[in-house]
Structure 1
């Protein structure tokens, strides 16, 4: 019997074709047959500088010939030390303690454990985590527990822990979100341990956007009531929202910040959970029982750290922000065109992310329109993966104007086709 690949988020029973990619460069993917496909979602939000960036590739090649892997529990190496020091140039001031892991989900798990460990080691019984409706933080147990409940995790409900949920701050009803957060935070009988949010834009929850002012106010309420604030910047980090980190736009420093995806330029898995001094200090002790008990076999893998260091150097040396700003302007112009169309609604933009909804009775992730759109885009040599009837663009920053305008053109053809 031949073994078969089981692909993520793929219903193999539908028999949908799965293209095989042979190579990639910049914003382009190539099949074995030579088809050229524009990667308009950065291969699931990870690529920032483009596929096979020569500087990152060179760093990986050089490091793999010197030191490929070493236990990180009680040992260290230069690429990790260089990366920890380099991150201080980019992180909000005060996030001085760097904990490495290997994916966005695990970065979130680490953040939750840090928050609960903080209160436990401080001698307080504070266990409740607060979340925002429609959130998505990953597919491990803790990350699923703090994400929106529904089709993604119904089958695993017995594994998940309870959380407190505040409504998403829809435009015009933001005060309801802030009021709900205040009620949770001010509860003297069950004070929360932490609030975790995706800053400015929710990813898999539908690319829902809210303002920096609301993010800042949520942070203020948490600080007022000594509730830890966790920013999940796994998707929003490294320029996606227009600044290196979305938290910058609200002028806040979270107590804990999660990052992955673009940390290595999207080339190789690596994640960081950055913590403030009080979080670290609560675990710093002569008492071994207060140790932060978390690790994975490939924590701070030297090759991955070398890729991340090359990514930081690209941000230092190249006009990355100009590339981002140009995409933002192009998206803005296209958004104006979308708003003029009768079958399009909820056009929204957050930095280099542009999203809109094609009017559809289903109107959610399980909408039948989603697979049809996916097939249409694939047939027209564009990698776009709609969230139900929500179409979004999140390109790598190296995308050319010709490539980006081709994406817009195919999207317009899809709108006309499904109108």
Structure 2
């Protein structure tokens, strides 16, 4: 077979690493063209919640393909999008009254930033600075990169990125410095503060306590700074609750959701906003409308998948499964030796391999990838940080195999 013309994301093709061809998937397992069964220990990049090819979601997709595949969403609507929006406003905090559709986590963040700036502009106030947290990651489009940590992910694109104010990560024992820095920055009247609640994903699975999230929200409210919660990774039960913000009793002004929104089956994202955000764009002046869209905004097939996901959350004991998986993860993490920084939040565990350098480009990274690949386990370390974020349906046998692969890596 000739070399593939495909250019893969976050892949250095010059290393010549094998790229398996996946033919089908079910539950927590992927199946490859050469007959291997691979345990999906990272939910296929944090998206698959209930398991691959969940029957209810697949049935909803199949049914929708026979009715309406795609329609412009500017000035038109359809039943799956309306049903989904009502379903979301029913289970999310009541203050989040409006749902704006987009296509991915990155674009949901772009939408949130534009909503925040439009809010202040339409109110006639000059506020455009965005505050961010150190080590954060919010996506790979220009705005999302701008509000993420500067470094290897985006150093080549620095001329395109806008300036932001950075608040230090609330590391254990240094939480006061974070809160003081945020308060000082809020006194300068920025437009918004965007944060990954409770755990920073691509920045190294860094965990911080709920009371710090609550304190940061309170500071923003005190200075009338919009609070944006990027729950693209943290929502849909990953941290143990539907939203990570629940654990801090926090309601953001703007909420970003994607990944598990459709159970991970197809791409879809929403940005939810409070009434004042919507009202700032509501006018008989067409220049104050919200200027954002994409060709596939609120795609009916994707919305139908998300409606099925909401029905699973409504009808099945999802939170109980999540709690059970969290306990099973903790037991295996406790038994693991040879690693440092062991931590868990909800169904996510993480740890560091105490070998050589750290960071995303740590030399041990490719070796770990090879080790896990040879053991038919899909784990994708963040440099020397290994994390486990499986679908909620993973069996004890598969979970044992995952942690055995980690234990034998050292």
Which band: TM-score by shorter chain?
over 0.9
* Counterpart among 235, 257, 260 of residue 258 in structure 2: 260
Q: Which secondary structure does the structure 1 equivalent of 2:284 belong to?
A: coil
Which has the higher mean CA deviation after the structures are superposed, 26-35 or 41-50? 26-35
After superposition, where does 1:5-404 map in structure 2 within 5 Å?
5-187=6-188, 191-338=189-336, 341=337, 343-404=338-399
Deviation at 1:88, TM superposition (A): 1.9
For residues 409 and 235 of structure 1, the distance between their equivalents in structure 2, rounded to whole angstroms, comes to: 26
Where in structure 1 do 4 or more consecutive aligned residues deviate above 4 Å?
none
Instruction: Normalising by structure 2, report the TM-score.
Output: 0.98
Distance in 1 (CA, whole Å) between partners of 2:287 and 2:26 is 49
SS of the counterpart of 1:213? helix
Taking structure 1 as reference, are residues 184 and 387 closer, same or farther at Cα in structure 2, changes over 3 Å only? same
Unaligned runs of 5+ in 1: none
Offset from partner CA, 1:359-399 (integer Å, 9 cap, x none): 02211111011111011001000000000000000000111
- Report the Cα distance in structure 2 between the residues aligned to 1:353 and 1:206, rounded to whole angstroms: 12
Do 2:369 and 2:381's aligned partners in 1 also have CA atoms closer than 8 Å? yes
Task: Tell me the CA shift for residue 3 of structure 1.
Answer: 6.4
8 Å CA contact 1:169, 1:176 repeated in 2: yes
Residue aligned with 1:82, SS: helix
| RMSD, aligned α-carbons | 1.0
Retained in 2: the 8 A contact 1:374–1:385? Answer: yes
* Mapped partners of 1:404, 1:337: distance in 2: 13
CA contact (8 A) 1:116 1:126 kept: yes
| Distance of 1:297 and 1:205 partners within structure 2 | 31
Task: Please tell me whether residue 405 in structure 1 is matched to residue 406 in structure 2.
Answer: no
Question: How far apart, in 1, do the equivalents of 2:317 and 2:35 lie?
Answer: 31
> Residue 377 of structure 1 contacts residue 410 of structure 1 at CA under 8 Å; is this kept in 2?
yes
Q: Distance in 2 between matches of 1:360 and 1:223?
A: 43
Q: Counterpart of 1:147 in 2: which secondary structure? A: coil
Cα deviation digits, residues 66-85 of structure 1 (max 9, x gap): 00000000000000000000
Q: Deviations 1:156-177 (Å, cap 9, x if unpaired)?
A: 0000000000000001100000
Give the CA deviation at 1:402. 1.2
Give the 3-state SS of the residue equivalent to 2:171 in structure 1: coil
TM norm structure 1 = 0.96
Distance 1:295 1:101 in 2: 7
SS of the counterpart of 1:100? strand
How far has the Cα of 1:333 moved from its partner?
1.3
Displacement, 1:282?
Answer: 0.1
Query: Would you say the 8 A contact 1:92–1:252 is kept in 2?
Result: no
- SS of 2:369's equivalent in the other structure is helix
Q: CA deviation digits over 1:280-314, x for unaligned, max 9?
A: 00000011010000000000000000000000001
Q: Distance in 2 between matches of 1:311 and 1:57?
A: 10
Q: C-alpha deviations, 1:127-181, integer Å up to 9, x for none?
A: 0000000000000000000000001101000000000000000011000000000
CA distance in 1, matches of 2:111, 2:194: 12
CA contact (8 A) 1:22 1:32 kept: yes
Q: 1:398 aligns to what SS in structure 2?
A: coil
TM-fit CA distance, 1:2: 7.3
Give yes or no for contact 2:103–2:267 (8 Å, CA) kept in 1: yes
Rounded Cα–Cα distance in structure 1 between residues aligned with 2:181 and 2:407: 40
Q: Is the 8 A contact 2:41 2:390 kept in 1?
A: yes
Figure out how many residues of one structure are paired with residues of the other and give that number.
409
Secondary structure at the aligned position of 2:101 is classed as strand
- In 2, Cα distance between equivalents of 1:3 and 1:28: 24
Q: CA deviation at 1:33?
A: 2.0
Cα distance in 1 for residues equivalent to 2:136 and 2:255: 16
